[in-house]
């Protein structure tokens, strides 16, 4: 096995999710293509990823009640995603300027600086700058 290529993040709508990940977090839009569900319903294949990364996020619009309930609760009550940055203060400032919701204040841990934030769907992420 070579690498983890994609992780799915369920979202309510594609375009607000794209704006959040591309415009706010600075990810690159790798793909935005038309596709069909197994039932023949139109959908989009939307992939974003941090610039220079190999692993990306597949932004999938929730289809049906079960998936809709999972939007923002893919890892209920836990941080499920970790975004490592080189310049914590610059990333924090940019995200605050974009009105990203933070759960608490930044703190120092033995492994680095960290603060929890919510993505456009309500999932919890760590914004993280590792020490050393």
Residue 123 has pLDDT above 90, yes or no: yes
For 50-89, what is each residue's pLDDT tens digit?
999 999 999 999 988 999 999 999 999 999 999 999 999 9
pLDDT cut 70: percent of the chain above it: 100
Q: Which fold has domain 6-130?
A: 2,3-Dihydroxybiphenyl 1,2-Dioxygenase; domain 1 (3.10.180)
- Between CA 14 and CA 44 the distance in angstroms is 8
For 33-55, what is each residue's pLDDT tens digit?
998 878 888 889 999 999 999 99
pTM of the model: 0.92
Residues 6+ apart with CB under 8 A from 31: 45, 46, 47
- Between CA 79 and CA 110 the distance in angstroms is 18
* Structure confidence at residue 91 (pLDDT): 97
In three-state secondary structure terms, 1 is: coil
- The distance of Cα 94 from the centroid of its chain, to the nearest Å, equals 16
- Between CA 26 and CA 23 the distance in angstroms is 6
Mean pLDDT of the chain, nearest integer: 95
pLDDT band at 26 (very low <50, low <70, confident <90, very high): very high
DSSP 9: E
Q: Do residues 92 and 40 make contact, with C-beta atoms less than 8 angstroms apart? A: no
């Amino acid at each position: 096995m070579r690498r983890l290529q994609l992780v799915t993040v369920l979202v309510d709508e594609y375009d607000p999710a794209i704006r959040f990940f591309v415009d706010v977090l600075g990810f690159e839009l790798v793909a935005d293509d038309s596709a069909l569900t197994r039932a023949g319903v139109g959908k989009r294949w939307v992939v974003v990823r941090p610039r220079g990364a190999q692993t990306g996020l597949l932004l999938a619009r929730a289809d049906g009640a079960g998936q809709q309930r999972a939007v923002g609760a893919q890892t209920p009550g836990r941080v499920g995603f970790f975004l490592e940055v080189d310049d914590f203060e610059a990333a924090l400032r940019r995200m605050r300027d974009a009105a990203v919701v933070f759960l608490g204040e930044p703190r120092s841990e033995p492994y680095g600086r960290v603060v929890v934030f919510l993505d456009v769907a309500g999932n919890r992420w760590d914004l993280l700058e590792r020490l050393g």
